[in-house]
C-alpha cells in the first residue's frame, strides 16, 4: 500500500511537470503585470476615477420651460399659438459661486490620484505574494529532487534486501526497518508535494495562467540579497518616500481638506441667471426680460457638513501619522529579521557544505551496500541527510523571503531587481 502511494506520487509529479511552463522570475513578473485579474480590475478603476475629473469640469445644463396657451375658461382653444394666442418661455442657467466647481475638480483629481496609488499598493502586495510563492516553490522542488532520489536509491536497496531475505542471508527485521524508513520518507515526500501544489496554484492565480509553473533560478539566489551599507535610517527614509499606502493616506488628508473648503463654499448660495419671453401675458406684447434667482441662506447654511468635514480633516491627519509610525515599525521589524537570520546561521558557505554532504551520503550508501556500516548507522545517516536538505532549503527560503519583505516594507526593489 505504501509502495502504491509512492508510485502514485511520482506519477502525479511527472504528469504535472510534463505540462509545466518554466519561467524565470523576470518572465513571471512580466506575465503577472499583463494577466493578473486584480491588477486589470484596478487599472479600470483608475480609468473610471480619471473620467470623473472630466465630469467635474462640466457646467450644469441650462433648463428651459414654456407655457402654451389653451385659451380661457370661457373658451378653450388648445395650442392656440396664433397672433391672438399666448406663448411664454424661459431659459435658466445655474452659476456656481465661491469656486465650487474648481473645488469639485480638485476633489476628483485627488480621488484619481488616490486610486492610482491604490493600484501601486495592490501591485506591491501582489508582487510580494508572487515572489514568496515563486521561491517557496523553487526550494520545495529542490528538496523534492533529493527526496525522490532517496526514494529511488532506497527502493533499490530494499529490493536487494528482500531477495537476500528470501535466501535467508539477512535478518527479516532489517527488511522491516528499511520499509519503515521508506514509509517515513514517502510521507515527507507526500507532504512536500502538497506544499508544492499549493504554492503552484497560488502562482497560477497570480499569473492568470492555466498551467503550472516551474521556477528557473540561475546562479546562487542568496548572492542577490545583501544589506550592503543600508542602515535602518536609510531604509526608513526610503520607505517614507516610496510607500504607496503612505501616499494614499496623504492624498486622503488632502481630499479631506479640499472637501472642507468645498463644504464652506456650499454655504454660499448659487446664482440662477436666465431670460424670459411672454407674447401676450405681460403689460406689453412680446415681452422679454432677464431673470435672476438665488437661495436665501436663512435656516440651512451647511453648518453640519462643515463641522463634519472639519473633523474628517483631523481624522485623516491622525491616520497619516499612524501610517508613518506603522511604516517605520515594519521596516525595523523586517531589518531585524534579516539580521537575525544573518547572525544565526553560522553557515558562510552553504553551497559548499551541501556538496560535501552529498558526497558523504553517497559514500554512506556505497559502504552500506558493501556491508562496511551497520543498518542502524545507515538509517541514522539517511534520516539526518533528509533533515539536512529540508532544513537547509527552509533556511534559504526564509532568508530570501526576509529580504523580499524588506523590499515590501520599503516600497522599492532594493534587492533582486528584475527590471
Q: What is the pLDDT of residues 28-45, one digit of tens each?
A: 999 999 999 999 999 999
**Where is average pLDDT lowest: 66-70, 342-346, 366-370, 413-417?**
342-346
pTM: 0.84
Spatial distance between the Cα atoms of 416 and 345, rounded to a whole number of angstroms: 21
How many CA atoms within 13 Å lie on the side-chain side of 129? 19
Q: What is the mean pLDDT of residues 398-407?
A: 94
The answer on pLDDT for 13 being more than 70 is no
Q: What is the pLDDT of residue 299?
A: 92
Rounded to the nearest 5 degrees, what angle is found at the Cα of 68, between the Cα atoms of 65 and 70?
150
Greater confidence (365 vs 199) lies with 199
Would you place residue 79 in the very low, low, confident or very high pLDDT band (cuts 50, 70, 90)?
confident
Residue 403 phi, psi (nearest 5): -70, -35
Cβ–Cβ under 8 Å, residues 338 and 403: yes
Q: What is the pLDDT of the chain when averaged over all its residues?
A: 87
Q: Which residues of 101-114 are buried (b: 16+ CB within 10 A; e: fewer)?
A: bbbbbbbbbbbbbb
The answer on pLDDT for 286 being more than 90 is no
Would you place residue 61 in the very low, low, confident or very high pLDDT band (cuts 50, 70, 90)?
very high
Task: Give the CA distances from residue 272 to residues 56, 60, 88, 290, 414, in Å, rounded to whole numbers and listed in that order.
Answer: 19, 11, 19, 11, 58
Cell numbers at 396, concatenated: 534559504
Would you place residue 4 in the very low, low, confident or very high pLDDT band (cuts 50, 70, 90)?
very low
SS3 content of the chain, % helix, strand, coil (to 5): 70, 10, 20
Cell numbers at 345, concatenated: 546561521
Rounded to the nearest 5 degrees, what angle is found at the Cα of 228, between the Cα atoms of 223 and 234?
135
Cell numbers at 225, concatenated: 540579497
Spatial distance between the Cα atoms of 130 and 413, rounded to a whole number of angstroms: 14
Spatial distance between the Cα atoms of 338 and 236, rounded to a whole number of angstroms: 15
Residues 6+ apart with CB under 8 A from 210: 204
DSSP string spanning 281-324? SSSSTTEEEEEEEE---SS--SHHHHHHHHHHHHHHHHHHHHHH
Greater confidence (340 vs 75) lies with 340
Other beta carbons less than 10 A from residue 216's beta carbon: 14
Q: How big is the chain, counted in residues? A: 419
Amino acid at each position: 500500500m505504501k509502495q502504491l502511494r509512492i508510485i502514485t506520487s511520482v506519477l502525479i509529479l511527472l504528469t504535472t511537470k510534463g505540462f509545466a511552463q518554466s519561467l524565470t522570475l523576470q518572465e513571471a513578473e512580466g506575465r503577472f503585470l499583463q494577466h493578473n485579474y486584480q491588477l486589470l480590475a484596478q487599472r479600470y478603476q483608475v480609468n473610471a476615477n480619471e473620467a470623473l475629473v472630466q465630469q467635474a469640469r462640466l457646467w450644469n445644463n441650462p433648463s428651459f420651460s414654456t407655457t402654451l396657451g389653451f385659451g380661457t375658461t370661457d373658451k378653450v382653444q388648445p395650442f392656440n399659438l396664433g397672433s391672438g394666442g399666448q406663448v411664454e418661455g424661459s431659459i435658466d442657467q445655474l452659476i456656481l459661486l465661491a469656486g465650487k466647481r474648481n473645488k469639485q475638480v480638485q476633489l476628483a483629481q485627488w480621488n484619481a490620484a488616490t486610486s492610482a496609488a491604490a493600484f501601486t499598493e495592490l501591485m506591491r502586495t501582489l508582487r510580494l505574494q508572487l515572489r514568496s510563492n515563486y521561491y517557496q516553490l523553487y526550494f520545495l522542488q529542490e528538496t523534492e529532487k533529493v527526496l525522490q532520489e532517496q526514494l529511488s536509491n532506497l527502493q533499490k536497496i530494499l529490493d536487494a534486501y528482500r531477495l537476500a531475505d528470501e535466501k535467508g542471508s539477512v535478518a527479516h527485521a532489517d527488511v522491516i526497518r528499511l520499509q519503515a524508513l521508506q514509509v517515513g520518507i514517502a510521507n515527507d515526500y507526500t507532504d512536500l508535494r502538497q506544499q508544492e501544489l499549493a504554492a503552484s496554484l497560488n502562482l497560477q492565480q497570480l499569473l492568470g495562467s492555466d498551467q503550472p509553473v516551474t521556477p528557473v533560478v540561475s546562479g546562487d539566489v542568496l548572492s542577490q540579497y545583501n544589506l550592503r551599507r543600508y542602515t535602518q535610517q536609510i531604509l526608513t527614509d526610503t520607505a517614507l518616500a516610496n510607500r504607496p499606502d503612505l501616499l494614499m493616506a496623504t492624498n486622503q488628508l488632502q481630499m479631506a481638506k479640499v472637501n472642507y473648503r468645498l463644504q464652506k463654499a456650499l454655504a454660499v448660495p448659487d446664482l440662477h441667471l436666465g431670460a424670459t419671453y411672454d407674447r401676450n401675458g405681460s403689460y406689453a406684447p412680446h415681452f422679454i426680460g432677464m431673470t435672476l434667482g438665488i437661495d436665501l441662506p436663512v435656516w440651512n447654511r451647511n453648518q453640519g457638513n462643515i463641522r463634519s468635514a472639519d473633523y474628517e480633516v483631523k481624522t485623516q491627519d491622525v491616520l497619516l501619522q499612524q501610517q508613518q509610525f506603522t511604516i517605520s515599525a515594519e521596516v525595523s521589524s523586517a531589518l531585524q529579521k534579516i539580521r537575525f537570520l544573518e547572525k544565526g546561521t553560522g553557515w558562510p558557505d552553504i553551497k559548499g557544505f551541501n556538496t560535501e554532504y552529498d558526497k558523504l551520503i553517497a559514500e554512506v550508501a556505497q559502504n552500506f551496500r558493501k556491508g562496511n556500516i551497520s543498518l542502524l548507522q545507515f538509517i541514522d545517516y539517511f534520516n539526518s541527510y533528509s533533515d539536512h536538505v529540508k532544513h537547509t532549503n527552509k533556511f534559504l527560503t526564509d532568508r530570501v523571503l526576509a529580504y523580499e519583505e524588506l523590499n515590501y516594507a520599503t516600497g522599492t526593489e532594493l534587492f533582486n531587481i528584475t527590471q
